[in-house]
Amino acid sequence: MSVRAILPGATVGVLGSGQLGRMFAIAARRMGYRVHTFSPDRNSPTGQLADREIVAAYEDLDAVRAFAREVDVVTFEFENVAHAATLAAAEHAPVRPDGLVLHTTQHRLREKSFLTRVGVPVARHRAIDSLATLRAAVAELGTPAVLKTAGWGYDGKGQVRIAAPEQCEAAWQSLGGAEAVLEAFVDFAGEVSMVVARGSDGTVVDWGLIANEHRDHILDVSTAPAEVAPATLAQARDIARTIVEALELVGVLCVEFFALHDGSLLVNELAPRPHNSGHLTFDAAITSQFEQQLRAVCGLPLGSTALVRPAAMANLLGDLWQHGEPDWAAALRADTVKLHLYGKGDPRPGRKMGHLTALGDGAAQARATVLQARAALQRRD
């Protein structure tokens, strides 16, 4: 059932204040909405563009309630927000996606249990709560395997590879004895993702499959459309629809997949908000993932997800600043390249500072262009 539309001129509240919220704020302000952001950070990427930046801890539920009283709807751009915060916000404004979606997807065990329950294929895994259960699971699943904390992990944080059984104790200690998941090794051909949106009326749309390349567990390059067989694309769409309908999601969600050598897919992780791999939609699609999030949470009709042209995105990490300010003009000499910087002041190694998007006549051309543009950023005095 559709809900009453929240129209331009209203105020949208965002839990979280990073680059995803920043690009959401750009889309929202372009459509005439006001934006309030809530996070522990001051002068944040989202806060620099928001109408109001509320600085408080997510655990400060009275502050969350005060924030929600001043907005017409609440969404989030960061899933490491306590479920209690979404419940507090929901006392005063609708929260979309619902806080239960966040509760499910921010915890790997709950997420995998949900996916298994709805019949979605995932890697073999076991719940781990002690060194003894880890050793037993490694004996059952074999090595190599990956041990991941059950909660609060992203960009490769909170996980360790186990190459042999004798590494169990060191791996368990490295995670501090936290509740964890052991995942069996997956011999995959590549990694792909699908960003999918579901409106309040049940309409489901997606941007197709996006091919992803990682470096040091951090997304490096994304290319769209991914070169996959029609059957693989159809399977991805069936899985994505199953997930968002089972969650009764209203908003945007990314499904990250392992693509196996036979063309089939396993779900790796879910992210119930716009995703790094979907940044290229900002420049390449009729409706970006950020505008679509706004449309969905405000009860508006969803927009077309068609790509205007094939595209590729390359992340810009703080490492690029190690020899001084990057040469932005050199990167922009290719006239199909777009620069996005997130307003972060401290370019630490591994920190996402921005990205480049390139359009092309084909996905391979776009990828080559964006990589050439990023290479040109490095000063050579």
Band of pLDDT at residue 82, cut at 50, 70 and 90:
confident
Q: Residue 379: what pLDDT?
A: 63
CATH classification of the domain holding 76: 3.40.50.20
- Tell me which of 47, 74, 95 is where a domain ends: 95
Q: Are residues 275 and 364 in the same domain?
A: yes
Whether 290 contacts 27, CB under 8 Å: yes
pTM above 0.85, yes or no: yes
CATH of the domain at 203: 3.30.470.20
Same domain, 318 and 279: yes
Co-location of 362 and 323 in the same domain: yes
With contact defined as beta carbons under 8 Å apart, do 89 and 95 qualify? yes
The arithmetic mean of pLDDT across residues 227-255, rounded, is 98
Same domain, 33 and 144: no
pLDDT digits (tens, 9 = 90+) for 166-225: 999 999 999 888 889 999 999 999 999 999 999 999 999 999 999 999 999 899 999 999
Residues 229 and 307 both lie in one domain: yes
At 152 the pLDDT is: 65
13-71 pLDDT tens trace: 999 999 999 999 999 999 999 999 999 999 999 999 999 999 999 999 999 999 999 99
Q: Which tens digit of pLDDT belongs to each residue from 256-305?
A: 999 999 999 999 999 999 999 999 999 999 999 999 999 999 999 999 99
pLDDT of 380 > 60? The answer is no
Q: Is residue 350 part of a domain?
A: yes
Residues 234 and 327 in one domain: yes
Looking at the fold, whether 233 and 339 belong to one and the same domain comes out as yes
pLDDT, residue 153, reads 59
pLDDT at 158: 78
Is 110 domain-assigned? no
Are 157 and 303 members of one domain? no
β strands within the chain, DSSP E: 11-15, 34-39, 52-55, 73-76, 125-128, 145-149, 159-162, 180-184, 188-198, 204-215, 218-224, 251-260, 265-271, 311-317, 337-341, 352-359
Dist. CA 160–CA 148, nearest whole Å: 7
Report the pLDDT value the prediction gives residue 337, as an integer from 0 to 100.
98
The pair of structure tokens assigned to 166 is: 């004798």
In-domain check, residue 211: yes
pLDDT of 1 over the 60 cut = no
Structure-block tokens of residue 268: 């790796």
Place of tokens 């699971």: 137
**In this structure, are 333 and 223 located in the same domain?**
yes
In a domain, 101, yes or no: no
Q: Is the pLDDT of residue 157 over 80?
A: no
Q: Is 270 left (phi over 0), alpha (psi -120 to 50) or beta?
A: beta
- Shared domain check, 278 and 328: yes
Percent of the chain with pLDDT over 70: 97
pLDDT value at position 177?
Answer: 81
- Specify if 234 maps to a domain: yes
Residue 132 sits in the same domain as residue 214: no
Please state the separation of Cα 325 from the chain's center in Å.
Answer: 27
pLDDT of residue 156: 56
pLDDT at 151: 76
**Residue 180 maps to which CATH number?**
3.30.1490.20
User: Residue 2 pLDDT > 60, yes or no?
Assistant: no
Do residues 358 and 252 share a domain? Answer: yes
pLDDT tens sequence across 121-152: 999 999 999 999 999 999 999 999 999 998 76
Q: Is residue 354 part of a domain?
A: yes
DSSP code string of 1-58: -------TTSEEEEE--SHHHHHHHHHHHHTT-EEEEEES-SS-TTTTTSSEEEE--T
Residue closest to 48 by CA, chosen among 317, 344, 356: 344
Q: Given the structure tokens 């006001």, which residue do they identify?
A: 34
Which of 160, 184, 208 marks a domain boundary?
Answer: 184
Q: Over 70: is that where the pLDDT of 345 sits? A: yes
Q: How many domains does the chain have?
A: 3
- pLDDT above 90 (res 321): yes
Whether pLDDT at 370 is above 60: yes
Residue range of the domain that includes 178: 124-184
**Token couple for 49:** 């563009």
Q: Kindly tell me the sign of the dihedral angle through the C-alpha atoms of 77, 157, 338, 223.
A: negative
